[in-house]
Amino acid sequence: MKAAQASVVLFAFWLVLSGSLNLIDLAFGLILSVLFGVWAAKTLWAEDAPVLTARQAGQFVLYIPHLLKNMVVSALQVAEVVLDPRMPIDPIIVGHRTPFKREVTRVAYANSITLTPGTLTVDVENNTFYIHGLAESFTDEIASGELEQRLMRVFEE
């Protein structure tokens, strides 16, 4: 099952790469994506594979615009700081504990933090995230747990 899903995704990637519907290309692509798909499912992702149910995948698609909006805000934030001659920053590193159960949630959370305004994931140890913030107001945003809730809804329900 896992292998089949991986193979489908890899075959889609092959289609993007080759950009041709030539019969030989398709055959090669099919064989290779099945080979690599089985390999990925059997050895790389033997446990806790990042497989999403249909509902979770839908939630994930809905999450992307939110993330993009956050990225724009955070880039503007950096622009504001960088272009201000006084450079108003007061960095801080805080720890934040989360209740995640799956690896994929942790990774999504860590990368989302890096892409949200003024915060950067420095270290992850089990479920504790160490976050560098450009100012305390930014890390407060993380501590409020809103992002956490959102990701729980995407990956763990």
Partner 1 sequence: MISYEGIINAIVVVLVGFGAFFFLVGTIGLVRLPDFYSRTHAATKCDTLGAGSILLALAVFNGLEPSSVKMIALAALVLLSSPTSGHALARAAHRTGLDYWRLDKE
Partner 2 sequence: MKNAAVASLLVIFAIPLLIAVAELPPFGDPDAPIHTHISARYIEQGVEEAGAENLVTGVLLNYRGFDTFGEVTVIFTALAAALAVLLTSGGVQYFQEDRPPAPPKGADESERPPTPVSPVVLFVVRLLAPFIGIFAAFVILHGHVTPGGGFQGGAILGAMFIVLTIVLGAGKVRPRLPEPLARWLQGAAPLSFVLIGALGVAFTGFYLGFPPEHSLHLVRELMMVVLEIGIGVGGAAIFARIFLAMEAD
The residues that touch partner 2, with contacts defined as CB under 8 A, are: 6, 10, 13-14, 17-18, 28, 32-33, 36-37, 39-40, 43-45, 50, 103-104, 106-107, 110-111, 121, 123-124
Q: Is 111 in the site for partner 1 (CB under 8 A)?
A: yes
Interface with partner 1 (CB under 8 A), residue from 32, 34, 51, 89: 89
Letters for 36-55 (x = contact with partner 1 by CB under 8 A, - = none) are --------------------
Interface with partner 1 (CB under 8 A), residue from 118, 142, 151, 152: 118
Q: How far is it, in rounded angstroms, from Cα 21 to Cα 57?
A: 28
Which residues, 6+ apart, have CB-to-CB distance to 122 below 8 Å? 93, 130, 131, 132
> Smallest distance from the beta carbon of 33 to partner 2, in angstroms?
7
Radius of gyration of the chain (CA): 20
> Smallest distance from the beta carbon of 85 to partner 2, in angstroms?
35
CA 36 to chain centroid: 22
Nearer to partner 2, 122 or 143 (CB): 122
* Contact call for residues 81 and 88 (beta carbons, < 8 A): yes
Q: How far is it, in rounded angstroms, from Cα 34 to Cα 29?
A: 8
Closest CA to 75 of 120, 118, 110: 118
